[in-house]
């Protein structure tokens, strides 16, 4: 385990523009060794808690915090899954005249559930993988790439039963109790 600055690159709702969220201080990461099937080519990888990444995003972009009506589905581009990614498909669009960028990175986006679930989860169990890099000032960092997709806020009544075994019920109950505790009581009439 080491401490590294966390650089979270993310997009919102299919925007081509990446936004950078930097952790205010180094976070704990676990360095990963490449397996026999992975050819790192000198590139290093590490894992970090999903919660640390989501907290970094929400600290730097508070407008993304979930509300009673809105939440975000979270996907991470896992660099260790790039070998299992299919070859990129180039379907030219007459309107855009698009072409696949040469040397475009392959990867697989891994679904991680809702942002509210990650923030409400107790502990730091869920891990995501990223690439070791250096900042412009030469500081060692871990870079993790996310895509956020806006969705409706989900309440316990509409969550499929199969998700309850994943601990979602505990997260939803925590959200509901924290909402109740922040509600103001009506003032008595004098």
Q: What is the distance between the alpha carbons of residues 82 and 108, in angstroms, rounded to a whole number?
A: 6
The structure tokens listed for 80 are 């260790």
The pLDDT value recorded for residue 63 is 87
pLDDT tens for 71-116 read 999 999 999 887 665 565 554 544 444 444 444 455 689 999 999 9
- Residue spans of the chain under pLDDT 50: 91, 93-104, 157-158, 162, 164-165, 175-190
Q: What is the distance between the alpha carbons of residues 57 and 146, in angstroms, rounded to a whole number?
A: 10
The pLDDT value recorded for residue 33 is 79
The pLDDT value recorded for residue 168 is 53
The pLDDT value recorded for residue 22 is 95
The pLDDT value recorded for residue 183 is 41
The pLDDT value recorded for residue 68 is 80
Cα–Cα–Cα angle for 53, 82, 19, rounded to 5 degrees? 35
Q: With H, G, I as helix, E, B as strand and everything else as coil, classify residue 80.
A: helix
Is the Cβ–Cβ distance between 110 and 75 less than 8 Å? yes
The pLDDT value recorded for residue 157 is 44
């Amino acid at each position: 385990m080491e401490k590294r600055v966390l650089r979270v690159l993310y997009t919102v709702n299919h925007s081509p523009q990446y936004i950078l969220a930097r952790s205010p201080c180094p976070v704990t990461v676990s360095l990963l060794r490449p397996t026999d099937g992975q050819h790192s080519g000198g590139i290093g990888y590490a894992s970090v808690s999903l919660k640390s990444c989501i907290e970094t995003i929400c600290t730097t972009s508070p407008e993304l915090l979930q509300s009673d009506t809105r939440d975000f589905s979270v996907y991470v581009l896992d660099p260790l899954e790039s070998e299992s990614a299919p070859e990129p498909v180039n379907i030219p669009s007459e309107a855009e005249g698009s072409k696949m960028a040469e040397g475009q990175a392959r990867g697989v986006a891994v679904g991680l559930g809702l942002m509210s679930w990650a923030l409400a989860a107790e502990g730091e169990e869920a891990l995501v993988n990223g690439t070791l890099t250096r900042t412009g000032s030469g500081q060692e960092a871990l870079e993790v790439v996310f895509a956020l997709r806006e969705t409706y806020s989900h309440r316990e009544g509409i969550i499929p039963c199969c998700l309850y075994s994943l601990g979602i019920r505990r997260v939803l109950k925590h959200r509901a109790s924290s909402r109740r505790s922040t509600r103001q009581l009506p003032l008595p009439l004098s």
